[in-house]
Amino acid sequence: MDKLCCNVPQTSSKPKVYRIPALLYIEETLLTFAEQREEKADHTAEQLVMRKGALRRENSVTVEWSEQTVVREAHISGHRTMNPCPVFDRANRKLFLFFICVEGSCTEWWQIGNYCNKTHLCYITSEDLGQTWSGLTDLTEHLSKEWVTFAVGPGHGLQAENGRLMVPAYAYVGAKPIKPVPRAVSLYSDDSGENWQFGSLLEGKSIECQMAEVSDGKGRFIYCNARSQGGHRVEAVSDSKGHAFTVYSNKKLVETGYGCQGSVISFPAQTEAAADGGENQWLLYTHPSHAKKRIDLGVFLNTSPSDPNAWSDPRILYKGPSGYSDLAYLGDGWFACLFECGKEEETERIALKIFNFSEIKVNTQESRTCPLQQPTEALESDVVTVFI
């Protein structure tokens, strides 16, 4: 067997690298997670770390941070822990932290090339917002035998209005001699996490994804936004509560280079009708805005979520090298974005930016009579480092 797949990374005194942000907002608390790595490459990942932030609301929203801790329960001996994906069950007030554990320094490409999965599907839970954690639950037996390898998230999961817990995922599917292809999929539970099952794979190629539940006045649906290798994002919708998805043929959102993870959330429509209790929701999406490089993290707005052509041009949250991101809606028109960024390359640190809808609404209908800034102007003030 290829030694690259079996070697366990050795410890080093070099500064650690933090990648792959995940963010969850619960009751005035921000829960942030990331991978701690020896170097920036995937196969050097070691373990998950977390920090909690208490929100303070006055004229703006600020955060009081706790110390960084290691999530030691998220571990299998001889494996590295990757892809944090938290989701919160409102009914039982239980936090689920999903992740994958990969054998030694075995790369995803080794698994694909050898048609041999070395990855475990795992989660731990907490009933006190991450102060203490349960033991590890391994769901690897639920994987399809056709899956060469897979991953969850990364970034936040979703609880739908009907209570369904959803974890975004993707799998490489194929058997010799057919080259495996990546396809996004949902992992969900209808009994507060007692049992989990996978939905149907999206048609065509799609990789890392996130999902959001949207109401457009006519009904509710699940929206999926996924990384691709084809120059444009993959967008899909589900009217089966997230079990099966229909992929849009329209392709307005541009993918960056060989692809990059992006984040999407839904939030109440920022109109007078929403303030009066209207149920309509809009979508917000973050992703590097450059067509070739991971630079200039953009935030995109869609006020008509059922229309894939309704995405706005991006406002720039961070001008410069930037990569993976994760969004949260904080209420009252406030948002938080946790993202990779740096001066020379995007893997230098993970930072948090809190911003208000008033800073991004320049492209909406109601703002045209009172424009704020040019769409390309950066909103990079008040960026706070979380992991470095």
Q: What is the pLDDT of residues 136-160, one digit of tens each?
A: 999 999 999 999 999 999 999 999 9
Give pLDDT, residue 381.
Answer: 61
Which structural domain range is residue 182 located in? 17-358+378-387
Q: Tell me if 101 sits within 8 A of 80, measured CB to CB.
A: yes
Gap between the Cα atoms of 344 and 359, Å rounded: 27
Is the pLDDT score of 10 beyond 60? no
Q: H or E element: which one contains 350?
A: strand 349-356
236, containing H or E segment: strand 234-238
DSSP 56-74: EESSSEEEEE---EE-TTS
Full strand arrangement of the beta sheet holding 94-103 = 79-89, 94-103, 119-126, 137-138
* Statement: residue 274 has pLDDT above 90: no
Question: What is the C-alpha separation between 36 and 57, in angstroms, rounded?
Answer: 31
In this predicted structure, which of 4-13, 19-28, 216-225 has the lowest mean pLDDT?
A: 4-13
Q: How many CB atoms lie within 10 A of CB 59?
A: 5
Residue 191, pLDDT above cutoff 80: yes
The CA distance from 113 to 115, in Å, is 6
Please indicate whether residue 42 is annotated as part of the active site.
Answer: yes
Task: Tell me the pLDDT band of 372, cut-offs 50, 70 and 90.
Answer: very low
At 142 the three-state DSSP class reads helix
pLDDT classification of 273: cutoffs 50, 70, 90: low
Catalytic-role residue among 123, 172, 285, 324: 324
- Report whether 316 contacts 277 (CB < 8 A): no
Backbone angles phi, psi at 182, to 5 degrees: -85, 140
175 found inside a domain? yes
The answer to whether position 8 is within a domain reads no
Is residue 255 in some structural domain? Answer: yes
pLDDT at 2 over 50: no
Catalytic residue status for 64: no
Task: Specify the pLDDT at position 362.
Answer: 59
Residue 113 lies in a domain: yes
Q: What is the DSSP string of 208-231?
A: SEEEEEEE-SS-EEEEEEE--SSS
% of the chain with per-residue pLDDT over 70: 90
What is the C-alpha separation between 333 and 12, in angstroms, rounded? 44
Reported residue count of the chain is: 388
Residue 276 has pLDDT above 60, yes or no: no
- Residue 142: inside a domain, yes or no? yes
Quote the pLDDT of residue 382: 82
* Residue 211, C-beta contacts closer than 8 angstroms, at least 6 positions apart: 158, 166, 168, 186, 222, 223, 224, 225, 242, 264
Q: How confident is residue 371, by pLDDT bands cut at 50, 70 and 90?
A: very low
Side-chain-side CA neighbours of residue 52 (13 Å): 14
Whether the bond into 177 is cis, omega within 30 of 0? yes
| pLDDT classification of 60: cutoffs 50, 70, 90 | confident
* 215-219, 257-261, 297-301, 333-337: least confidently modelled range: 215-219
User: For 90-124, how does the pLDDT look when each residue is reduced to its tens digit (9 = 90+)?
Assistant: 999 999 999 999 999 999 999 999 999 999 999 99
Whether residue 372 lies inside any domain: the answer is: no
Burial of 104 per CB tally in 10 Å (0-12, 13-18, 19+) = middle
pLDDT tens by residue, 314-355: 999 999 999 999 999 999 999 999 999 999 999 999 999 999
From the candidates 42, 103, 235, 348, give the one annotated as an active-site residue.
42
pLDDT at 379 over 90: no
Average pLDDT along the chain: 91
Q: How far is 124 from 108, CA to CA, in rounded Å?
A: 23
pLDDT of residue 368: 35
CATH of the domain at 113: 2.120.10.10
- Count of the separate structural domains present in the chain: 1
Q: Is the pLDDT of residue 267 over 90?
A: yes
User: What pairs with residue 338 in β-bridges?
Assistant: 326, 352
Q: How much of the chain is in helix, strand and coil states, percent to nearest 5?
A: 10, 45, 45
CA 38 to chain centre: 22
Q: Which of 35, 326, 340, 380 is catalytic?
A: 340
Give the C-alpha separation, 325 to 243, whole Å: 25
Residue 21 has pLDDT above 60, yes or no: yes
Within-domain flag for 260: yes
Catalytic-residue membership of 324: yes
86: pLDDT strictly greater than 60: yes
Q: Is the pLDDT of residue 85 over 80?
A: yes
- Asked if residue 40 belongs to a known ligand binding site, the reply is no
- pLDDT, residue 9, reads 47
